[in-house]
Chains A and B, each alone.
Chain A
Amino acid sequence: MAFSDSAEELKHLKRAMSDLVSVLALPAVWSGQEPRQIVMTFHDALMSTLDLDFLYSRAKFEASVQPIKILRTAPLSAASQNVEKTLHTLNRRFEDAPQNWPAEERGHFGGQEYSLLSLPLGIGGEIGIVVASSARADFPTQSERMLLSVAANQVTVALQQARLLSEQKRIAGELEFRVAERTLSLAAANVKLRKEIDDRKRAEEALRASEINLRQIIDSVPGLVCTMSPAGETELVNRPIMEYFGKSIEELKGWTLGNNDAVHPDDLPRVISDFRHSITTGTPFETELRLRRADGVYRWFKNNGGPVQDTGGRITGWYFLIIDIDDRKCVEEALRASERNLYLTINTIPALAWSARPDGTAEYFNQHYLDYLGLTQDQAQDWGWTEAVHPDDLDGLIDAWQFMTNADKGGECEARLRRFDGIYRWFLFRTNPLRDESGKTIKWYGTNTDIDDRKRADEESRRSEARKTAILDSAIDCIVTINHEGCITEFNPAAERTFGYRRIDVLGKQLSDVMIPPSYREEHRQGLARYQATGESRVLGKRIELTAVRADGTEFPVELAISRIPMDGPPSFTGCLRDITERKQAEQELRRSEAFLAEGQRLSRTGSFFWRVATEEIVWSEQLSRIFELDPSLKMTLELIGSRMHPEDLFMLNDMVEGARYGSDLEREYRILLPDYTVKYLHVVAHGTKSNDGQWEYVGAVQDVTDRRLSDEALNKARSELASVSRTTSLGIMTAAIAHEVNQPLSGIVTNASTCLRMLDSQPPNIEGARETARRTIRDGNRASEIVTRLRALFKRKEVATEPIDLNDAAREVIALSWSELQSERIMVRQEFDEDLPAVRGDRIQIQQVILNLLRNASDAMREIDDRPRQLLIKTECDDGKNVQLTVQDTGVGFAPDAVDRLFESFYTTKQEGTGIGLSVSRSIIEAHRGHLWASANDGPGSSFAFSIPHDYSSEPN
């Protein structure tokens, strides 16, 4: 972006920074908010910060929930004229898969042209999208794009956190609900059990009462007495008989069986048969029968009779005692039914029922009991059942039972019983004695109730209580509970430490008086009152930050989450508080240092990155994204970086990735090519360290050195121009060789001039020949003066110094000196040195000059190469045991086959800026060292230049 002056730029920068800070502050506002609120505040912030016509967001969390779609328009904008239509268009436009969303485009809404910038929420837009739009043609500017992208990142993070928070809350709520439900159902089961036991007791009492009643009835039955003749005719009856039948004695006399309706017709045949038998045989008569009372009602009677004999043994008559057993009969019948019923009940109720004798030995077990123990009635008899009692509980149970029988008083006791399958479960043994009228115990009845679940629940509840206490005691957060009146009911040790009160001192006190600064107390009371009245709360279930006060009056920031304790009755609340003084400070520090870092990175145009090689995980700083002009929300990958690399430098990336597998430190300079074809020069430095899992991790910095590089290039150009001069100057030692180049044309001039003179002097003068030689002289003279002008000052004569030279060392020095130049030309240098190379004799500087010249030629030959790597191979070898050879191979433009002869001619050059003396000078130097310098074309692209020098130069020449 261009600015008219620095004041304008500063103003703009300030504005952008302050916008950035306000966007960065959004997460503090969002903490604990619902997703919709987050998106709304996000819209508020951006609409008030940026000059937008409308802002549209779509965010979705779960497949089941409708996405949040929000459109905010600027007042007076064309979009605000028809919000419905705009929203509809946007909904449809961005309904697609995220990869189909246009990043930026210009479009029409409501007849007005708009620039759109869309930013995916989430790495791949999986959460949704934000679309910002403005009618301005320059929208989005660089800073707007950056702000929107930072804000979109922030809102993505906030939305993800909100989702996480709501999920946690939902799970916690569900858990508490389940515990409460289970507790309630256990309590209900206990109540039912108690009721069943009470009912059973009442039933037993009723039975006992009826038995007593029965006895009383039986005892009070008046006897009916009558006598009969030996033939079986009624003779005498007692009063009750008369009363019963409602007949006078006269009427009753002469009754016999069968001549009246006194006997129930159903009983009559049996009674007649029995009676005849008794009369015939003279044996006592005993029967039960129904007799018709005066009112027509039949009642049961027991009829006992016997013969009355005279002294001679002759039967003189019969007497009968007839006892009304009708009540007993009924009771018996009822009892039988009741017993049957009881038996069924006892055997079917899901309790273990039993009875015992007064001495404590067991008498009866219901079927359920026997099935449960897996014993037969006989096996369980007496003390047999104790075999199923848990050994640890047996003594206690026997003691309790003996105590009950001794005290003759019912009671209860708990013990484990072994089920048929070997599992022990807890039972409650309850007994009650059955007493006769005198109060003597005649039997014991008992039930055993399975209380295993309750026992476990009790145990669980005890543990849960202990856990809760432990949590409360050890919690780092302050946990405070209050009842509906706002009085403190719990105050854990962390709260004691944080607030400086002892639990004992604050229990029962008003929360607001203890923990809330005076200025907020009224608000708290109103909030509590409002909740009581309407059930509305601004704080429940949220994470809020507020100010609290300590016992000593100091105020400090806390984070607070309040939830209602899910119990019946008046509401009570639990609050979880955390002193966030340090966090606040740290947040502020962090924000400040992040701002510093971001600003620092921006100002120094340096981005940083973290790279885990094995997983290809790459984390970029925002500035790095800015340098690469990539969306910071994109996930960085090597492919993405590769897409920005300058095609010629792509191999460097591959090279770096390869090197990184072995942890080598990276330092490179390479170019990136942006979509608008701008080229940036970047300098990367990265250091690798091994992580705990043995993988290489790189932390590095990337600096945009474009400006420096461009000025460097200009400088370099100047420098190399200078160098081509100073290089030769510094090599005064080369003068002899240079002289060769100069003397060659001079030689022609002198020869021609001499010839010319001689032709003119001859008789007759050879005018034609003289003219020709003169012409040549002038031509060569001009050529030579050109050379001389160029070289005059550069060369002076000096003897060749000879010393032993290690060609490898000499070459290495030259490479080191040329390194930055080669780097800036983006040339990869490969070295293949024969380390056993013998020394050669000669002038080190001259030889190095030749190597330098060959390197420069190779570099120049590759300057225009863009379609393949610029690679340079420098190789030394001992060719045939006598000569040492150095080859410089390039992948450059090469030379035409017919040019090879001219390559070494002085001033022959294919280069625009070349003097054309390099190769010929080099050849002269090598030849002066008794060596050869030659060129050859490669099999592939480029050419090779090589020289060889005898290593036993000292013995030459002869």
Chain B
Amino acid sequence: MMNPRSLVSIVDDDESVRESLPDLLKEFGFASQTFTSAEAFLASDGISRTECLILDIAMPGMSGPDLQRELKRRQSKIPIIFITAQRDESVRTQLVESGAIGCLFKPFNDTALLDALNAAFRVK
């Protein structure tokens, strides 16, 4: 069952994403916190409380997949939903094969996000 107050963390260097996603997640019934970079997320104390991670692929510094590898190395089980403006099917395939819940191409519709979130919490 979906925990209405579960914490979803958003890591994206794009401001419009960090601005708009929390409201939508709130409508879905999630709590959320946003980070501008992978490094900022790793440095925060929110990792342990994060139940799902919405992660941008291309960012300055550490990329989304870099963070995914780092979390895997730390034995973290946080389910990850990748979002990317780069519409590349081969990347999505690779990412899903490497354990991601999904990969949404920006702009994605709210239903697709909700499906992915549901999938993430089902895994959990």
Asked if A950 is an interface residue, CB under 8 A from chain B, the answer is: no
CB-defined contacts of B16 to chain A, threshold 8 Å: 744-745, 747-749, 751, 780
Using A754-B109, A755-B27 as known contacts, say yes or no to A747 and B86 having CB atoms under 8 A apart: no
* Docked CA distance A772–B84 (Å): 25
Nearest opposing residue in chain B for A751, CB measure: B20
- Check A755 against B85 for contact (C-beta < 8 Å): no
Asked if A431 is an interface residue, CB under 8 A from chain B, the answer is: no
Minimum distance in angstroms from A287 CB to a CB of chain B:
161
Using A743-B106, A748-B17 as known contacts, say yes or no to A927 and B85 having CB atoms under 8 A apart: no
Nearest opposing residue in chain A for B95, CB measure: A957
Minimum distance in angstroms from B85 CB to a CB of chain A:
4
* Docked CA distance A264–B14 (Å): 169
- Check B106 against A776 for contact (C-beta < 8 Å): no
Within 8 A of A (CB), among B1-47: 14, 16-17, 19-21, 23-24, 27
Query: What 1/0 mask marks residues of chain B from 85 to 117 whose CB sits below 8 Å from any chain A CB?
Result: 111100000100010000001111110000000
- Check B110 against A755 for contact (C-beta < 8 Å): yes
Using A752-B20, A754-B110 as known contacts, say yes or no to A747 and B83 having CB atoms under 8 A apart: yes
What is the interface size of chain B, counting residues whose CB is below 8 A from a CB of the partner? 27
The residue from B17, B58, B60 contacting A751, defined by CB atoms under 8 A apart: B17
Using A755-B110, A776-B20, A957-B94 as known contacts, say yes or no to A743 and B88 having CB atoms under 8 A apart: no
CB-defined contacts of B108 to chain A, threshold 8 Å: 747, 750-751
CB-defined contacts of A740 to chain B, threshold 8 Å: 58, 84-86
- Check A751 against B21 for contact (C-beta < 8 Å): yes
CB-defined contacts of A749 to chain B, threshold 8 Å: 16, 107
Using A740-B85, A776-B19, A928-B86 as known contacts, say yes or no to A747 and B107 having CB atoms under 8 A apart: yes
Minimum distance in angstroms from B122 CB to a CB of chain A:
22
Asked if A249 is an interface residue, CB under 8 A from chain B, the answer is: no
Within 8 A of B (CB), among A745-778: 745-752, 754-755, 757-759, 762, 769, 772-773, 776
- Check B14 against A747 for contact (C-beta < 8 Å): yes
The residue from A745, A751, A762, A923 contacting B110, defined by CB atoms under 8 A apart: A751
CB-defined contacts of A932 to chain B, threshold 8 Å: 60
Using A747-B107, A748-B17, A928-B86 as known contacts, say yes or no to A754 and B58 having CB atoms under 8 A apart: no
Asked if A702 is an interface residue, CB under 8 A from chain B, the answer is: no
- Check B86 against A797 for contact (C-beta < 8 Å): no
CB-defined contacts of B83 to chain A, threshold 8 Å: 747
Minimum distance in angstroms from B16 CB to a CB of chain A:
3
- Check B24 against A736 for contact (C-beta < 8 Å): no
Asked if A737 is an interface residue, CB under 8 A from chain B, the answer is: yes
CB-defined contacts of B60 to chain A, threshold 8 Å: 904, 923, 932, 934
* Docked CA distance A740–B17 (Å): 13
Minimum distance in angstroms from B113 CB to a CB of chain A:
8
Looking at A744, A752, A927, A958, the one whose CB has the most chain B CB atoms below 10 A away is A744
- Check B86 against A739 for contact (C-beta < 8 Å): yes
- Check A751 against B107 for contact (C-beta < 8 Å): yes
Minimum distance in angstroms from A747 CB to a CB of chain B:
3
CB-defined contacts of A797 to chain B, threshold 8 Å: 87
Using A744-B16, A773-B20, A904-B60 as known contacts, say yes or no to A750 and B65 having CB atoms under 8 A apart: no
- Check A744 against B106 for contact (C-beta < 8 Å): yes
CB-defined contacts of A923 to chain B, threshold 8 Å: 60
- Check B86 against A754 for contact (C-beta < 8 Å): no
Asked if A924 is an interface residue, CB under 8 A from chain B, the answer is: yes
CB-defined contacts of B20 to chain A, threshold 8 Å: 747-748, 751-752, 755, 773, 776
* Docked CA distance A1–B45 (Å): 79
Looking at A740, A749, A776, A927, the one whose CB has the most chain B CB atoms below 10 A away is A740
- Check A750 against B109 for contact (C-beta < 8 Å): yes
Asked if B63 is an interface residue, CB under 8 A from chain A, the answer is: yes
Query: What 1/0 mask marks residues of chain A from 79 to 111 whose CB sits below 8 Å from any chain B CB?
Result: 000000000000000000000000000000000
- Check A743 against B105 for contact (C-beta < 8 Å): yes
The residue from B14, B17, B27, B86 contacting A762, defined by CB atoms under 8 A apart: B27
Minimum distance in angstroms from A732 CB to a CB of chain B:
14
Minimum distance in angstroms from B38 CB to a CB of chain A:
13
Minimum distance in angstroms from B30 CB to a CB of chain A:
13
* Docked CA distance A800–B21 (Å): 30
Within 8 A of B (CB), among A658-684: none
- Check A927 against B107 for contact (C-beta < 8 Å): no
What are 29 A-B contacts defined by CB distance under 8 Å? A739-B85, A740-B85, A740-B86, A744-B106, A747-B14, A747-B17, A747-B108, A748-B17, A748-B107, A750-B108, A750-B110, A751-B20, A751-B108, A751-B110, A752-B20, A754-B24, A755-B23, A755-B24, A755-B27, A759-B23, A762-B27, A773-B20, A773-B23, A776-B19, A797-B87, A923-B60, A924-B86, A957-B65, A958-B98
Beyond A751-B21, A751-B24, 18 additional contacts (C-beta under 8 Å) are A737-B86, A739-B86, A743-B85, A744-B17, A745-B16, A747-B85, A747-B107, A748-B17, A749-B16, A751-B108, A752-B20, A754-B109, A759-B27, A773-B23, A776-B20, A800-B88, A924-B58, A928-B86
Q: Which residues of B contact A (CB under 8 A)?
A: 14, 16-17, 19-21, 23-24, 27, 58, 60, 63, 65, 83-88, 94, 98, 105-110
Q: Which residues of A contact B (CB under 8 A)?
A: 736-737, 739-752, 754-755, 757-759, 762, 769, 772-773, 776, 780, 797, 800, 904, 923-924, 927-928, 932, 934, 957-958
Closest 7 CB pairs of A and B: A748-B16, A754-B110, A747-B106, A740-B85, A750-B107, A743-B85, A751-B20
